[in-house]
Chain A
Amino acid sequence: MEQAVMSANDTADGTFDGFVAARGDALWRSAWLLTSDRQLAEDLVQTALAKSWRSWERVGPEGFEPYVRRVMFTTYVSWWRRKWRGERPTEVLPEAGVSAPDTDTRNDLVSALAGLPKGQRAIVVLRYFEDLTEAQTADALGISQGTVKSQCSRALTALRSSPHLRREDDDE
């Protein structure tokens, strides 16, 4: 799993371009877990980067990834609060074949994750994919640590009982 925190050197040349080159894929992976869709994930990353681009100079390389992550996750929450049509204009058409279903039977965990409320889903991704602490997760989402803890517990309970999942060790 990729480290969620980067150093200034990771941006290669200390530029916005360097940051995106170094960390763009990591952002995309989290975005994919939030959206379960390759193109929506790219849209979410692009939107977060576009929103954050203007703040590059002020925030600086050291603090930019947490900044972008916060923008991305709050954008995710607001996207799903608004009506999302999935037909937003994009500059470049997706590559052939990338629109194939992402949540197939090979990974029922993703299907179960998609069944969570968006807030719980965001917490699960931050806590268990990005490996953030409860405090860091609370900071990223602008909620209290207590909320992180309670929502995370509910998410785990929901995942355990999801019809999409049957853990191997359930039978043990």
Chain B
Amino acid sequence: MSDEKWLRDGLADAVPEPPATPDRARRAERLARRRRRTTAAALVGTVGVVAGAAVLTAALAGGDDDRAVDRYDFGAPPSVSCPPAKAEDGVIPESAIDSPDPAAPDAVPEGATAARICEGPGAALTYPDDLLTQDVATLVETVNGLARTDGPADVCTMELGPGFRIVFGYDDGSTFVVSGRLYGCRTLTVGSGYRADPETAAHEFDDLLQAQLGDAEPTTDTTDGPACTTDPPTPTTGRAEDLAEALLCVQDKSGSTASLGFVEIPDDDLATLVADIAANAHATAGIARCYREEPWISGVTTSGDAVMITYQCDSYVLPDGRAWQPSAASQAIIDRLGARAVP
């Protein structure tokens, strides 16, 4: 028996009967609508942003009246506000709350009933303004479960990225702040000490907030289509692999807004680009940034999050900081569409 026939037969025999899921389509549709509403993923994986990056604008920009949490009756969660954070040249400076406090406990106290994620030391980044009120104990457990460290290592990578602060609120009105840096030595300050893996804390907050927001059906379709903006493009926060529609944008050497051109990337071409990104984009220790007269991609994800993929020096850079060198097929698409998009 040949290897291929043996494998075909074996795989066919191995697969069990699928479960009966008569509502699969409805569930997928609800999930799609939910994903569009839940744009809190703005904080996930946003590393590698260099100094000078403009403030990221999360698609979840609704005012207080639009906060999903306000549509629920959670029994008056405690008031939890963000510490002051004023960006200087796009960078949030460190303050005392970002360093260990010897007088504080070395773990997040139990009993928190609300939590909010806020800007922290590093590149400025706008986080979702929703208050987490569900499963806050899980977030506390996650943070307290991170490994203790001695603090920043002597030598760390030099890139600058965003930081964050998570403010835990308690029913007695008190708060407890942890401060994470998604760059450099990647430390999380918790009370009197440091913890490793701040990404886990940020991811957990994001997952819990998404779950909380996901309980609500969207009331309106707030998704805007992609748009080409002038230089410098606004950094964005969606995942490139989730692109649902996109434009290829070009700007001629005059650099004026009048010379901006764009063309919609057809579905087949977009699928090729997305697959190439999924297969070949790679993490970097840091991105060298310099403006080049190259086309860039502006799109939105299935969740409604904006995605901007710009060319920097020698590669395209994704919103999460990964670098992408287009395959020959992808480059051909960019070249072909770029020629059509010339202003």
Q: Is the CB of A16 within 8 A of B25?
A: yes
Among B10, B30, B239, B277, max chain A CB count under 10 A is at B10
Q: Which B13-47 residues sit within 8 Å CB-CB of chain A? A: 13-16, 18-19, 21, 23-32, 35, 45
Task: Report the stretch among B1-9, B145-153, B230-238, B255-263 that lies at the interface.
Answer: B1-9
Decide if B16 touches A38 in the complex (CB within 8 Å): yes
- When chains A and B are docked, how far (Å) is the Cα of A74 from the Cα of B276? 9
Indicate if the CB atoms of B275 and A142 lie closer than 8 Å. yes
Taking CB atoms, residues of chain B closer than 8 Å to A98 are: 19
CA distance A131 to B12 in the complex (A): 11
Q: Is B67 an interface residue (CB 8 A)?
A: no
CB distance from A136 to the nearest CB of B (A): 12
Is A40 engaged at the interface, CB distance under 8 Å to the other chain?
A: no
Nearest A residue to B212 by beta-carbon distance?
Answer: A89
Q: Which partner residue on chain A sits nearest B44 by CB separation?
A: A82
B15 x A29 contact (CB < 8 A): yes
Residues 1 to 56 of chain A near chain B (Cβ within 8 Å)? 1, 16-17, 19-21, 24-25, 28-29, 32-33, 38, 42, 45-47, 49-51, 53-55
Q: Are A91 and B302 in contact (CB under 8 A)?
A: no
Partner of B274 from the list A25, A74, A125 (CB cut-off 8 Å) is A74
Across the interface, do A29 and B31 meet the contact criterion of CB distance under 8 Å?
no
Which label, helix, strand, loop or mixed, suits the secondary structure of the B interface? helix
Q: Which residue of A lies closest to B203 (CB)?
A: A83
Contact in complex: B276, A142 (CB < 8 Å): yes
Residues of chain A contacted by B211 (CB below 8 angstroms): 89
Question: Per-residue 0/1 for A63-88: is the Cβ within 8 Å of any B Cβ (1 yes, 0 no)?
Answer: 00001001000110110001101001
B267 within 8 A of A: yes
Q: Given contacts A24-B21, A33-B15, A59-B267, are A53 and B29 in contact (CB under 8 A)?
A: yes
Bound-state Cα–Cα, A67 to B1, Å: 34
Q: How far is the CB of B109 from chain A (nearest CB, A)?
A: 24
Say yes or no: is B106 at the interface (Cβ < 8 Å to chain A): no
Measured CB to CB, the nearest residue on chain A to B6 is A167
Contacts of A124 in B (CB 8 A): 7, 11
Number of interface residues of B (CB under 8 A): 50
Q: Which A-chain residue is minimally distant from B138 (CB atoms)?
A: A87
* Residues A128 and B24 in contact in the complex (CB < 8 Å), given A29-B15, A89-B211, A102-B16: no
Q: B96 on the interface (CB 8 Å rule)?
A: no
Known: A109-B11, A128-B8, A141-B279. A29 touches B18 (CB 8 A): yes
Is the beta-carbon distance between B32 and A51 smaller than 8 angstroms? yes
- Give 5 A-B pairs besides A1-B12, A98-B19 with Cβ atoms closer than 8 angstroms: A28-B21, A51-B242, A107-B10, A159-B7, A169-B1
Give A residues with C-beta under 8 Å from B.
Answer: 1, 16-17, 19-21, 24-25, 28-29, 32-33, 38, 42, 45-47, 49-51, 53-55, 58-59, 67, 70, 74-75, 77-78, 82-83, 85, 88-89, 91-92, 94-95, 98, 102, 107, 109-110, 113, 119, 124-125, 128-129, 131, 139-144, 156, 159-160, 167, 169
Supply 11 A–B pairs (Cβ within 8 Å), ascending by A: A1-B8, A17-B26, A28-B18, A32-B18, A33-B11, A45-B28, A49-B25, A49-B28, A58-B267, A109-B7, A142-B277
- Top 8 nearest A-B pairs by Cβ distance? A142-B275, A49-B28, A20-B25, A50-B31, A74-B278, A50-B32, A53-B32, A25-B18
